[in-house]
Chains A and B, each alone.
Chain A
Amino acid sequence: MSLIKETDYGTPASESENTVTLSIDGFEVTVPEGTSVMRAAMETGIQIPKLCATDMVDAFGSCRLCLVEIEGRRGTPSSCTTPAESGMVVQTQTGRLKDIRRGVMELYISDHPLDCLTCAANGDCELQDMAGAVGLRDVRYGYDGGNHVKQRDGGGEVNARFMPKDESNPYFTYDPSKCIVCSRCVRACEEVQGTFALTIEGRGFGSRVSPGMHESFLNSECVSCGACVQACPTATLQEKSVIEIGQPEHSVVTTCAYCGVGCSFKAEMRGQELVRMVPYKDGKANHGHSCVKGRFAYGYASHKDRILNPMIRERITDPWKEVSWDEALSFAANRLRAIQYEHGKESIGVITSSRCTNEETYLVQKLTRAVFLNNNTDTCARVCHSPTGYGLGQTFGTSAGTQDFDSVEQADVVLVIGANPTDGHPVFASRLKKRLRQGAKLIVVDPRRIDLVRTPHVSAAHHLALRPGTNVAVVTALAHVIVTEGLFDEEFIRTRCDWDEFQEYAEFVADVAHAPETVEALTGVPAAELRAAARLYARGGNGAIYYGLGVTEHSQGSTTVIGIANLAMLTGNIGRPGVGVNPLRGQNNVQGSCDMGSFPHELPGYRHVNNADVRDVFEEVWGVSISDEPGLRIPNMLDAAVEGTFKGLYCQGEDILQSDPDTKHVSAGLAAMDCVIVHDLFLNETSHYAHVFLPGSTFLEKDGTFTNAERRINRVRKVMAPKNGYADWEVTQLLANAMGGGWSYTHPSQIMDEIAATTPSFANVSYQLLEEKGSVQWPCNESTPVGSPVMHVDGFVRGKGRFIRTDYIATDEKTGPRFPLLLTTGRILSQYNVGAQTRRTENVVWHDEDILEIHPHDAETRGVKEGDWVKLVSRSGETSLRASLTDRVSPGVVYTTFHHPTTQANVITTDYSDWATNCPEYKVTAVQVSPSNGPTDWQEQYEEFSVRARRIEAAE
């Protein structure tokens, strides 16, 4: 193992198909037209000295180090800004160039501290490298004159040019004395991240990098994505972890365990100590970019709260007792078997984790199907994208996003529905914003004014701020306009869809009941705005739809997904780059956990359990008989538990008590069970009701694969030994074997081989292929041996695309005199899901409590001021939190996040759910808000209960 260093070509690659041939230092080079001379030289292996150039941003030409001589041209042009031309004859190293470069370097170093030995960038400093490269031997100028290096001058007077370090960001420091004003950080913030938080203030010798208007990093608009730190050639912007630990000595490429974007990272190590996570340039999902979570928020992996030993207890009111693995596993196995003996084999089940690997998820569903002998398996996708599974399955024939993320670079119109990419999927959002800055148009359908609606150099053409719960009405009205105004793509529909079905659908949708003017009163979206948006999507070029949980988490979640698929088929926006229907999946491996058969009605590869041929395949490999009946979904498990017919649960890496709706119902279900096994990193909220706790391992401690929202199967690689002793797949295997499973996997690659052997869409996937290709997108089999970036290219998976009518049916969660406001929920950039990981990192400096957003009008009539404690009550329950007044939400709508267990936003949410999949209706709850003076009784009782439930008996 060594430290992976990607080649920096100095300027971005050119996409041109035309080539030019030139001579550099006597070598012939052929490169795509538009390539810089610097990049052309690097491609032949000649590294021209440079400081301000790096291939993550466009050429800037400020450092004057990369000068070259070109035959027939005057002077010494900078190679980064000079495009290569046919017939050019370039010299990169002449006496004149050497002198100029040395002179330039001497000036740089004359205003740079010479503390190289104690500098954190020692060994990883481009300034140091360039001083070496140009042969700098002397700096004649000294620090006597103006400089930015010394706090006081020789006479002890304060140096007004000196600026102290900014250590406000928890993860990196800004040391202005080391800055060479190359602007790489400023350009990275603009071009790569798209936040525009940084600028160069002042001019000439007074030029300085400045977050916002001379603010600290923490108080500026900076989102702490780390792009500037990565771009910085010196120690000016430096990870605090490198300052503390030192430079890494080896690195391993792995995949982030936060959101569904699935960024590739280099875990840079010193021994078994993780020094830093650096986004990997060859990562196909992120192309070298990252967000604050993946880049910096990994501290939870070594947090003191991690539980490293198995624990058991007779009753949930007892304190926990630490025991050996053997004792914990046999305790769990005996209880589960006893339950099955007494209550039947359907009385126990599993919940697979969308945070664990494909291999681990596969084993957990295999545990229930092959060892428990039932289909009681479900996963957190139940509460997020199960409607995507149903809706896209019905219309297109399979459940997955149709595109890769690169596709956004060719989109002309982007329709974002019920998603907040800058917070939920930040790295994709950066790529989207880049495309929007290039001129693509944006339509946002969201009750709340998300950041994308108006952000530097991006402004949505249309924001349809609908009333929560009216998605189907809006989507159907969009289709109404497209059909009645003749904006549909007839040729596409005739060749790719069923024409008769289309005609029936067209008749349905053309009804005046679905006209924007008719639905305006209930959706709150002005008809003219909706019509304009429909025209733009239908006729604006490549139209791409990206949607999130604002679509799925409704009574009509599946219907909206179908409506979205209808829109794409109507306009022919399917089957090529730049278009498509793209669910933005929440968790790192929620796509994979669905692919792996986590749903109670489906075996791996989305094949129903009533399909005998499919059961045969697995029965042969597993040597058991598989039930042909669908099992219980999570809410059904809880219902059955309350009823007394479901008694045991193995829950891996999910905190249903905090994340699932209607907390009181969840706790009643869990409390009614005889054996709850929680397999997790921490004593999460669900563990309060557990009898067995099996410690989990982090993504840094195991091998495996994650599948991201673009169906990309990425490798997860072990960089340190599991602190708890076992990777999660080993723990599941131990449990299976304690119950007589007889499994004998010795490496996750064997599990993937079993998946490939049984699941056609994974047929060609193997660790060897992933090693060769880096990653592949399923389907990956005989017909697409190296995967499929775009789906439904020549035809839909199901054959003909199917139009399905989408009637708007209002949710029964209605406002009224008692509960006049609608609560909708969402996420924030710095926190992730229930916060179990991010709350245990420094990310809490950005968000340490859930906040209720309320419109100033609604606040005023209730006497609520900024920062006040308010009580939030629904027909399910009540909680309290602080309020913030903002016009991001419309009057009548309030919004909060669900990251903190002290708030427990899900005490409020109801048990209404999607008609097809039981995905809970998180996004619409009728509530009342009133001033309060602190936590509610329920919150205080829960806090007390929580402390009691976490007691661990002292070792004897």
Chain B
Amino acid sequence: MSPEKLTYMANQIAGFFRNRPHEEAVAGVADHISKFWEPRMRAQLFDMLTQAGDRFDPLVLEAGPKIRPVK
């Protein structure tokens, strides 16, 4: 997937959870991505979080370590 699209999708998810209490929002983003993103997408996300973290919503960055790892 194009890096722009992937970033966009992750940030869109953060947008929905932003109005929650902080802990809940971070957990919400992590849970959503763990549940609905196929491993290839998560792997790409992990790569990008380390290489181009500035493109992401802070909630996504914080959720990163809580997202289900790829085997």
Whether the pair A601, B36 counts as a contact (CB closer than 8 A) is: yes
Q: Mark B4-47, 1 if CB is under 8 A from A, else 0.
A: 01000100110110111000000000001001111111000000
Whether the pair A639, B5 counts as a contact (CB closer than 8 A) is: yes
Interfacial chain A residues near B37, Cβ < 8 Å: 630
Majority secondary structure of chain B interface residues (helix, strand, loop or mixed): helix
Interfacial chain A residues near B12, Cβ < 8 Å: 555, 915
Interfacial chain B residues near A555, Cβ < 8 Å: 12
Majority secondary structure of chain A interface residues (helix, strand, loop or mixed): loop
Q: How far is the CB of A388 from chain B (nearest CB, A)?
A: 15
- Kindly identify which residue among B19, B32, B41 contacts A807, using a CB–CB cutoff of 8 Å: B19
- Kindly identify which residue among A601, A636, A809 contacts B41, using a CB–CB cutoff of 8 Å: A636
- Known interface pairs A508-B19, A915-B9, A916-B32. Does A631 touch B1 (Cβ–Cβ under 8 Å)? no
What residue of chain B has the Cβ atom nearest to residue A645's Cβ? Answer: B40
- Known interface pairs A346-B40, A608-B35. Does A805 touch B1 (Cβ–Cβ under 8 Å)? no
- Known interface pairs A640-B1, A915-B9. Does A559 touch B38 (Cβ–Cβ under 8 Å)? no
Interfacial chain A residues near B13, Cβ < 8 Å: 915-916
Q: How far is the CB of B48 from chain A (nearest CB, A)?
A: 14
A911 located at the interface, meaning its Cβ lies under 8 Å from any Cβ of chain B in the complex: yes
CA separation between A508 and B20, bound complex, in Å?
10
Q: How far is the CB of B52 from chain A (nearest CB, A)?
A: 17
Interfacial chain A residues near B16, Cβ < 8 Å: 558-559, 807, 809, 915-916
A610 located at the interface, meaning its Cβ lies under 8 Å from any Cβ of chain B in the complex: yes
Interfacial chain B residues near A601, Cβ < 8 Å: 35-36
CA separation between A631 and B35, bound complex, in Å?
10
A616 located at the interface, meaning its Cβ lies under 8 Å from any Cβ of chain B in the complex: no
What residue of chain A has the Cβ atom nearest to residue B44's Cβ? Answer: A643
B50 located at the interface, meaning its Cβ lies under 8 Å from any Cβ of chain A in the complex: no
Q: Mark A257-284, 1 if CB is under 8 A from B, else 0.
A: 0000000000000000000000000000
A600 located at the interface, meaning its Cβ lies under 8 Å from any Cβ of chain B in the complex: yes
Interfacial chain B residues near A600, Cβ < 8 Å: 38
Query: A residues 875-893 with Cβ under 8 Å of B?
Result: none
A629 located at the interface, meaning its Cβ lies under 8 Å from any Cβ of chain B in the complex: yes
- Known interface pairs A630-B38, A915-B9. Does A807 touch B1 (Cβ–Cβ under 8 Å)? no
Interfacial chain A residues near B32, Cβ < 8 Å: 916
Whether the pair B38, A911 counts as a contact (CB closer than 8 A) is: no
Interfacial chain A residues near B40, Cβ < 8 Å: 346, 632, 640, 645
Number of B residues near A (Cβ < 8 Å) is 19
Q: Mark A525-558, 1 if CB is under 8 A from B, else 0.
A: 0000000000000000000000000000001001
Whether the pair A629, B2 counts as a contact (CB closer than 8 A) is: no
- Known interface pairs A639-B5, A643-B1. Does A915 touch B15 (Cβ–Cβ under 8 Å)? yes
Whether the pair A639, B2 counts as a contact (CB closer than 8 A) is: yes
CA separation between A346 and B12, bound complex, in Å?
26
Query: A residues 619-676 with Cβ under 8 Å of B?
Result: 629-633, 636, 639-640, 643, 645
Q: How far is the CB of B71 from chain A (nearest CB, A)?
A: 8
CA separation between A555 and B5, bound complex, in Å?
13
Interfacial chain A residues near B15, Cβ < 8 Å: 807, 809, 915
CA separation between A610 and B39, bound complex, in Å?
13
Q: How far is the CB of B23 from chain A (nearest CB, A)?
A: 14
Interface centre among A376, A807, A917, A918 (most CB of B within 10 A): A807
CA separation between A144 and B17, bound complex, in Å?
83
A residues with CB within 8 A of B: 346, 376, 508, 555, 558-559, 600-601, 608, 610, 629-633, 636, 639-640, 643, 645, 805, 807, 809, 911, 913, 915-918
Selected A-B contacts with CB under 8 Å, 19 pairs: A346-B38, A559-B16, A600-B38, A601-B35, A601-B36, A629-B38, A630-B35, A630-B36, A632-B38, A632-B40, A639-B1, A640-B1, A645-B40, A805-B20, A807-B16, A807-B19, A915-B9, A915-B15, A916-B16
Give the 10 A-B residue pairs with the shortest CB-CB distance, closest first.
A915-B12, A639-B1, A632-B38, A805-B19, A807-B19, A809-B15, A629-B39, A915-B16, A915-B13, A630-B38
Taking A807-B16, A915-B15 as given, write out 8 further A-B residue pairs in contact, using a Cβ cutoff of 8 Å, ordered by the A residue number: A346-B40, A636-B38, A645-B40, A807-B15, A807-B18, A809-B16, A911-B5, A915-B12
